[in-house]
Structure 1
Amino acid sequence: MPKTISFNDNWTFTKTDSPAYSRQTIVQGQPVTLPHTWNDSDGQGGAEAYYRGACWYQKVLTINAEDLSKRIYLEIGAAGNMGEVYINGQLAAESRCGYAMFRAALTPHLKQGDNLLAIKVDNSYNNEVYPLGADFTFYGGLYREVKLLVMDDIHFDVMDNSRDGVYLTQASSGEGVFRLDVRGRLVNEAAASANGRVLVQLKDHEGAVVWEDSQELAVADAAEFELSGSICNPVLWDGIEQPYLYTAEIRAIVQEQIVDTRQIEIGFRTVELTADQGVILNGKPIKINGVCRHQDFGGIGNAITKAHMELDMELIREVGANSIRLAHYQHDDYFYSLCDRYGLLVWAEIPYISFPSTLDPDSRNAFEQLELLIKQAYNHSSIYCWGVQNEITIAVETENTYRIIKELVAEARRLDPSRFVAQANINGVADDSIINTFTDLVGYNLYYGWYYGEIKDLGERLDDFHRTRPDKPVLVSEYGVDTNPNYHSYTPQVQDYTEEYQLLFHHNALETFKARPYVLGGYVWNMFDFGSANRKEGGEVGKNLKGLVTIDRSLKKDAFYLCKAYWSKSPFVHLAGRRFVNRHEQLNDLVVISNLQHIRVYLNGELLTEIKDGQPLNVIKAVRLILGDNHISVEGIDEQGERYTDEIMLRHVLESDSSYIYVKEEKTEHVVNWFERFDLSAPGQIEVKEGYYSIYDTIEQLYRNEAAKAVFLKYFAHVTDNPFFEVTQGVMSIEKMSQLVFYGIPPELLPVINRELNRIAK
């Protein structure tokens, strides 16, 4: 029988990169236990500079004679972002997919006694490995568990890029009957062929066998198998209401001995996407009440354990979400399993994000990562769609962009015809863009009222999309605002980073989705604050602050409870504004968040008001506070008479508390309204002259000509010293820059620059 051995202890690590470490012991390394990342601090705003480069891990593997008779594989949960595995100086495996599991066949390289296992891991920029650039930290390290697989000669295929070597597919046949297909491959690494069989048993929660079948096989080098059966009236996997899972036991049997086995959980369900009723799960329309999740954790980076994942799931369940977008890459397999067990529909995706490769126009790495994602996560019943791109048009939108997206969609459907294909567009993708015809589901990342426009524009944009494409299922794949819970305001507004503005923003979004049956729902960006090493925003360094919960999971922002009031059936009451303690105005609005129908609010022990409208958010206007401390309490009563309470203390003070106000750093003079020194009085039309440079050429193309480069630097020298600029030169044009708010390019400047470029011949 095969064995799986934990292989996480007693590793040696060094940040020094030397090819000699593939065969020679690391000198002056440090002992580490996996999972491990070298960016746990600097990837989240620590004192040291964010390090991206090649590092090495080593461990000695001691092998005896009996071990050499087995087939031994090393399973690496992930190596961020590139990995090379050496055994006794010989390259055994490599990975260019920093979020996927990969394996190395060790047996051909092993000897009796001590064997030096060395793994080079590199998270430096590589133009052909996705993601090229994004608003999150690219943590380096062996940040997931590592295992040894010890197997007999005949076993399920563990080297086909999948996790199990076995694939389970369920589909409704109608009339309460489901079809279950079980397919896979047995491999034989012995010299002689053998006869055997594959036995499948499907068991319910009580262990009773509800279906079984077997297939006889003659295994020379390899043999594929496929078994199918009908399951009558199974208990359905019905999302968070009833996430019922059966267990399929698949055994490989040779000479009546079990040589390999798999236990795979599976749920039976139907999912439909409609443009008028949203998602239909098992025949019932549901609204996607979703959150996005990045995998890192405060002070730990992405080297998280099962306990961290379980805590994340506990918080996601508490907020009442019924779906998770696991962004922007393949997550740990254990977290997909948690989604299966707790009934959360999953949007799973690859890191084909922001910028395409300029060195590989075919984006081969995106296809490689798509295959790994689908094959390794195939058996998770929670997954309802595969995401093939996120904001890939942020810098460039060309025929080649369209070609790659269409080919990724086709590949996803080839690998898994049973699920939908989705994409997440930046807001600049036009409603009638051909891109929106490629996938079954279209998501838009919309930040009206934060990066652009006003919060009310969200509903107008969704209405416009539905008018343009009435038959296309659409949802909001990201929405959120950066929020530092230390900041507060009586008059919250854009870019003040206050908890109060986040509450306004999310209240508008949730009401917008609720009022539109044709909108499938939305995914909050993000469930948790996360590391973004190059950020400095909202009073924090190295973090994106759009989470409903802080990066260390210790503080739930008020918007967390607002989502809970809309989504959760667990009764509660919550008083918002508890961190806005010092109130310098006498009259204050009190905000009550709850999913209960009957609520009483008290001020300093006296009944202030009763609320019976059942709204998720209620504002009690102009409550007069006494000077000094004021005790506010709220009591909610459910239909059974159970009581739920919350309380806060507000202090009426005479002067405003300056610590609640985000003070923006003063920009240097050439950045604030930098365009004012140019003459924009006669902008004219934009023309493209054949054989001459224009604003539509990429920055990289402009830089190849000294005169064209000089024109670019004349206008944009102040934006060249940042990581975003560095990784986008090959795909970003001045015209595309003008569509991005943070560049602040007035439209009338474009024809002025274009005229200058039109004088320079290519």
Structure 2
Amino acid sequence: MYELKKRKKSNHHRKNIILQVLTITFLLVGFYTNAQVNFIKDRKHIQLTNWKFQKGVFYKGESKNFNDSTWQNIKVPHTYSMDAIENVGYYKGIAWYRTHINIPKSMENERVFLRFGAVGQEAIIYVNGIKIGNHIGGYSAFCYEITKAVKIGEHNLIVVKTSNAPNYKRIPVNDVLFNHYGGIYRSAQIFSTPKFNISPTFYASSGVFVHLIEQSKNSAKIEVRTHITNKENLNQLTLNYKILDANNQYINSLSKIIKIDKKNTIDTQSIEIENPILWNGRKNPYLYSVEVTLSDGKTSDKICETFGLRTFKVDADKGFFLNDEPYRIYGVAMHQEWQQVGPALTLENHKKDMEIIDEIGATGLRLSHYQHSQNTYNSADKLGLLVWTEIPFVHDYSGREQGNAKQQLTELIYQNYNHPSIFSWGLWNEVRAWKSADEPCVILTKELNNLAHKLDSTRFTVSASDRGMESNMGNISDLQAWNKYYGWYYGQYSDMEKWLDESRIKYPNIELAISEYGVGGNIYQQNRALLEKPIGNYFPEPVQTNYHEVTWKNIKERPFIWSSFIWNIFDFSVAGWNRGGIKNLNHKGLVTYDRKVKKDAFYFYKANWSDSPVLYIAELRNTKRTEAKTQVKVFTNLEKITLYINGRKIATKKQSDDYNTIIFHDILLKNEINKIEVKSKKGKEKFSHKAEWILSKK
């Protein structure tokens, strides 16, 4: 059994319980908001939405006197890499953003900050021509104090010089697996605090970190660590903590006087919660919140964070345990991009994505292959998804990316430390040490593993391998998982079952998981006989469906698999690919790139995973038939269904297996349009689904 108290080479673990941490949620008003950042909600803030933009190299583009009148007018979030989707190859270079903003008088005598949710892939920030900072890494937030650079009550110039050009000192070092988009593709804000504050510049986190230190049926004790900065001549401040339940009702509070003897102070405080309610995945994703207020009696700085209480462990024989109960993690992996906007997702885009993941009934989510928007983590907390989140140490390495990899891991952990949905920090994906265990990538992995444990003793580290059960990079992280594509890139579908059982016998002490599995599927291609895998031009959708039917059966029947993740929930772009009949696209998604069509395999999983009624005729888009005798396959979690063809009742069938699939065999089609319909009911509620198949001569 693998529990954090038994972590390899780590001394940072407490007792028998996996420690639970508080969520860094990003809310301004309600679930989805423009400000996006929860700890800005109660502070004066301004959204930086309207910008001037231009690609290219410009001399003194940061200058107040620079003429940007011919530049494009754009709105953030924005990317300048849409050519990655539209063409083969894409622009990789410098681009500029400029905006003017009035800093209101209400921010006078306060400290002013500038925060970006992410800029791809590197950013140099200027305020009124003054260089403020340089951030390298395209997926994490960063925040700078700009008090001395801005002028209150006047227009101020904010300039961002970006680049998505290759940099072998930055992860990821290449774009073989996914596009490296450029631009200010997440939100940006200016906000202010009093001269003292709960630090917003500590790795762009909330400055508040909470974890569970003791738990019983009647009580839980959490420890809150608050990072405080001060630029006033103060000797002491009052720090207030207030705990609220999921209905925003008061539970407990604590007030204390803290001594200020230096500019930066860390206060640590334990707080009791009586009769705690656990965050219990999809069964009950219960969230508490804590208000932290820092005051000198005249002014104050306040933030509010949500958190959940939960424990977890992994057993090599019995799989994953949540709150000491077996809990199957069956999930999907997700890239953060849409066909229409690339990575510059709107709040509605984020909302739609998480609604689709909720609809399919997944219990887990792997965020590929980098830190995602806070909207995603917030949604996962509320939906009860168990999240594997990771840094973009992917596929290849240069041997020069050590510093940036550690920086991005530190940012990932501190910025997301408090989300109860996150159970693991991902260290790498498909990085290969071909020659020896002394290669730079192996050494870096060991350093990343130690760093993760130092920063957060409450969660697992994990990595995703495409090598064997033993490899130079393997089994360094707490947990190991494997990307397996049997029947697509190699072997047969049945090899998954063989590999799982043989690995279980040969390596009984290694916890087994599938971090990726899937095959391509094009909804416009339906003829199985024309399949050209894995890099041809024909990826018929029915082949994808059949693969998932076979592979899910192999996974479901083996409870020792502690997690499995379908690759991928959505099709996504890979510039330069030309496979499956559509350029620049990885077709392995269960939903099309534009989110308009859910493929047949989506409904197969929904019927098996979701509690919502499902009734779906498979091969709906396979409309042109050449064989009169056929079968009608239906994915459904309803007890029995009735088949009709052209209005005539054919047969009624009940569920007969554990995979929520009902098949009507030896159905005869006529030489005309065949209107297929299935009907069912649950209680008083009725359901139906229709298809039209045309029988024609060969």
Q: In terms of Rg, which structure is larger?
A: 1
Match of 2:209 in 1: 167
Deviation at 1:300, TM superposition (A): 0.5
The one of 222, 229, 233 aligned to 2:264: 222
The one of 607, 629, 646 aligned to 2:649: 607
2:469 is the counterpart of 1:469: no
Structure 2, gaps ≥5 residues long: 1-40
How do 1:49-60 residues align onto structure 2 when only pairs under 5 Å count? 49-60=89-100
Given that 1:599 and 1:611 are in contact with CA atoms closer than 8 Å, whether structure 2 keeps it comes out as yes
Given that 2:433 and 2:472 are in contact with CA atoms closer than 8 Å, whether structure 1 keeps it comes out as no
Number of aligned residues: 646
2:602 is the counterpart of 1:560: yes
Distance 1:574 1:103, change over 3 A: same
Deviation at 1:510, TM superposition (A): 0.8
Given that 2:194 and 2:299 are in contact with CA atoms closer than 8 Å, whether structure 1 keeps it comes out as no
Amino acid at match of 2:372: H
2:392 is the counterpart of 1:351: yes
The one of 625, 640, 649 aligned to 2:669: 625
The one of 552, 557, 571 aligned to 1:515: 557
Segment of structure 1 superposing worse, 488-497 or 276-285: 488-497
The one of 440, 460, 483 aligned to 2:478: 440
Amino acid at match of 1:457: D
Match of 1:647 in 2: 690
Deviation at 1:407, TM superposition (A): 1.3
Match of 1:547 in 2: 589
How do 1:570-719 residues align onto structure 2 when only pairs under 5 Å count? 570-612=612-654, 613-614=656-657, 615-638=659-682, 640=683, 642-655=685-698
Given that 2:81 and 2:91 are in contact with CA atoms closer than 8 Å, whether structure 1 keeps it comes out as yes
Distance 1:237 1:491 in 2: 48
Amino acid at match of 2:651: T
Distance 2:275 2:479 in 1: 29
CA-to-partner distance for each residue in 1:50-72, whole Å, 9 max, x for gaps? 11111000011334666452211
Amino acid at match of 1:632: I
Structure 1, gaps ≥5 residues long: 656-762
Flag as ranges the 4+ runs of structure 1 deviating above 4 A: 394-398, 490-494
CA-to-partner distance for each residue in 1:609-651, whole Å, 9 max, x for gaps? 322115422333332100010011112333x353321111101
The SS at the match of 2:544 is helix
The SS at the match of 1:3 is coil
Distance 1:319 1:585, change over 3 A: same
Given that 2:56 and 2:93 are in contact with CA atoms closer than 8 Å, whether structure 1 keeps it comes out as no
Greater RCO structure (CA 8 Å; 6+ sep): 2
Match of 1:75 in 2: 115
Amino acid at match of 1:374: I
Match of 1:126 in 2: 167
Match of 1:310 in 2: 351
Given that 1:582 and 1:653 are in contact with CA atoms closer than 8 Å, whether structure 2 keeps it comes out as yes
CA-to-partner distance for each residue in 1:320-374, whole Å, 9 max, x for gaps? 101100110000111100111111111010001111124x1x6211111000000
The one of 390, 403, 422 aligned to 1:383: 422
Distance 2:595 2:259 in 1: 53
Distance 1:629 1:83, change over 3 A: same
The one of 276, 279, 284 aligned to 1:237: 279
CA-to-partner distance for each residue in 1:275-297, whole Å, 9 max, x for gaps? 11111112221211100111101
Match of 1:736 in 2: none
Amino acid at match of 1:167: F
Distance 2:696 2:307 in 1: 59
Distance 1:258 1:227, change over 3 A: farther
Given that 1:370 and 1:412 are in contact with CA atoms closer than 8 Å, whether structure 2 keeps it comes out as yes
Match of 2:126 in 1: 86
Match of 1:752 in 2: none
Distance 1:442 1:492 in 2: 36
Q: TM-score, normalised by structure 1?
A: 0.82
Given that 1:171 and 1:268 are in contact with CA atoms closer than 8 Å, whether structure 2 keeps it comes out as no
Distance 1:252 1:597 in 2: 58
Given that 2:89 and 2:576 are in contact with CA atoms closer than 8 Å, whether structure 1 keeps it comes out as no
Distance 1:66 1:560 in 2: 51
Amino acid at match of 2:488: W
Given that 2:528 and 2:540 are in contact with CA atoms closer than 8 Å, whether structure 1 keeps it comes out as no
CA-to-partner distance for each residue in 1:650-692, whole Å, 9 max, x for gaps? 010113xxxxxxxxxxxxxxxxxxxxxxxxxxxxxxxxxxxxx
Distance 1:140 1:588, change over 3 A: same
Deviation at 1:16, TM superposition (A): 2.2
2:453 is the counterpart of 1:413: yes
Match of 1:100 in 2: 140
The one of 433, 438, 445 aligned to 1:399: 438
Distance 1:511 1:66 in 2: 61
The SS at the match of 2:550 is helix
Segment of structure 1 superposing worse, 310-319 or 109-118: 109-118
Match of 2:380 in 1: 339
2:469 is the counterpart of 1:431: yes
Given that 2:437 and 2:472 are in contact with CA atoms closer than 8 Å, whether structure 1 keeps it comes out as no
The SS at the match of 1:132 is coil
Given that 1:85 and 1:104 are in contact with CA atoms closer than 8 Å, whether structure 2 keeps it comes out as no
- Which structure's residues are more often helix, by fraction? 1
Segment of structure 1 superposing worse, 136-145 or 46-55: 46-55
Distance 1:3 1:258 in 2: 12
2:242 is the counterpart of 1:201: yes
Q: TM-score, normalised by structure 2?
A: 0.89
The SS at the match of 1:622 is strand
Distance 1:646 1:413 in 2: 51
Distance 1:258 1:474 in 2: 53
Deviation at 1:299, TM superposition (A): 1.5
Deviation at 1:258, TM superposition (A): 4.9
The SS at the match of 1:92 is strand
The SS at the match of 2:61 is helix
Distance 1:397 1:545 in 2: 34
Distance 1:59 1:490, change over 3 A: closer
Match of 1:12 in 2: 52
2:323 is the counterpart of 1:282: yes
RMSD of Structure 2 on Structure 1 (CA) = 1.9
Match of 1:450 in 2: 488
2:411 is the counterpart of 1:372: yes
Given that 1:354 and 1:391 are in contact with CA atoms closer than 8 Å, whether structure 2 keeps it comes out as yes
Amino acid at match of 2:97: Y
The SS at the match of 2:60 is helix
CA-to-partner distance for each residue in 1:510-539, whole Å, 9 max, x for gaps? 101111111123111101111211211111
Distance 1:101 1:210 in 2: 32
Given that 1:215 and 1:227 are in contact with CA atoms closer than 8 Å, whether structure 2 keeps it comes out as no
The one of 505, 508, 518 aligned to 2:547: 505
Segment of structure 1 superposing worse, 403-412 or 468-477: 468-477
Given that 2:212 and 2:221 are in contact with CA atoms closer than 8 Å, whether structure 1 keeps it comes out as yes
Match of 2:15 in 1: none
Amino acid at match of 1:624: L
2:309 is the counterpart of 1:268: yes
2:402 is the counterpart of 1:363: yes
Deviation at 1:310, TM superposition (A): 0.6
Match of 1:660 in 2: none
